[in-house]
Amino acid sequence: MNHKKNLANTITEINLGVMASSVMNDCYKYGMTWGCDIDCPVLQDGKCELKNYENKKLYQKYLDELNT
């Protein structure tokens, strides 16, 4: 997962510049590159604003995999 986050940060910095990238949160950086998936660091930290709504099933899948 960490490699996906690092690549998302790099791509965002290349496309938008370091200054613009520095004001974006991890949700936007990751989402712009990978979309919303189970490896999202914001989702995994339980900080996804949509984890109880649009991403509820995705978050539950992450929790299920974590507990197995």
The pLDDT of 43-67, averaged and rounded, is 89
Residues 6+ apart with CB under 8 A from 49: 27
Per-residue pLDDT tens over the stretch 6-41: 888 888 888 888 777 777 888 888 998 999 999 999
Query: What is the value of pTM for the model shown?
Result: 0.69
Tell me, what's the pLDDT at 49? 87
Residue type, 42: V
Q: Which domain holds residue 29?
A: 2-66
Tell me, what's the pLDDT at 1? 57
Question: Would you place residue 45 in the very low, low, confident or very high pLDDT band (cuts 50, 70, 90)?
Answer: very high
**Per-residue CA distances from 23 to 11, 28, 47, 63, 66 (Å):** 15, 10, 18, 29, 30
Angstrom distance (rounded) from CA 66 to CA 68: 6
Token pair of 22 as six digits: 């520095």
Q: Of 16, 19, 65, 13, nearest to 39 (Cα)? A: 65
The number of domains in the chain is 1
